[in-house]
Amino acid sequence: MYTKRPKKLDAPTDVYAHDVGLLEGGTLDLAGRHGKPTLIVNTASKCGFTPQFEGLQKLYEEYHGRGLEIVGCPSGDFAGQEHDDADAIGEVCQRNYGVTFPVTEKMSVRADPHPLWADLARQPESAPPSWNFTKYLVDGDGKLVKRWNSKVTPQDEDLVKTIESVLPAA
């Protein structure tokens, strides 16, 4: 599935140098995220970790006012656990979990990764996602702060503390 590992970078680069298509149309220019930390998560609608959408939405509601952004990126790279139809993906996100943060169009995050995901994987101390719901926290300068695997929930103490550490004081 992933025969060629990306060459690691010696120093972090600006992950916000990418554009991504949005699920409901249009484009999200990540350069507009400068100054705001962003949690980027590869998602899937038919995965055992799909209920993490609820926790991601809670994080968004709690910290968005302090500047946190979240971007969900649907992908079928792991066991085809994502719908092909944008409406079906949106229904799972919004109807089942009340997601209000941006969700991108379906994209590859590992097999033939979108440039954003290739860049995330190449950052120092990073790696490609190993399954759905891998989480990457990028600071306001576009630099990767930390990566968490799928089993780490959005309410995990380390994840929350790390997010709080990159946000302005309340």
What pLDDT digit, counting tens, does each position of 35-49 carry? 999 999 999 999 999
CATH number of 20-71+83-103+114-150: 3.40.30.10
pTM of the complete model beyond 0.85 = yes
| pLDDT tier, 8 (very low <50, low <70, confident <90, very high otherwise) | confident
Q: What percent of the chain has pLDDT over 90?
A: 86
HSE, side-chain direction, 13 A CA sphere, residue 102: 21
What pLDDT digit, counting tens, does each position of 55-75 carry? 999 999 999 999 999 999 999
DSSP at 155: T
The b-or-e profile of 37-60 (16+ CB within 10 A means b, else e) is bbbbbbbbbebebbebbbbbbebb
On average, the pLDDT of the chain sits at 94
Reduced to 3 states (helix: H, G, I; strand: E, B; else coil), residue 166 is helix
pLDDT at 7: 80
Based on the residue annotation, tell me whether 42 is a catalytic residue of this protein: no
What pLDDT digit, counting tens, does each position of 13-27 carry? 999 999 999 999 999
pLDDT at 49: 97
DSSP at 94: I
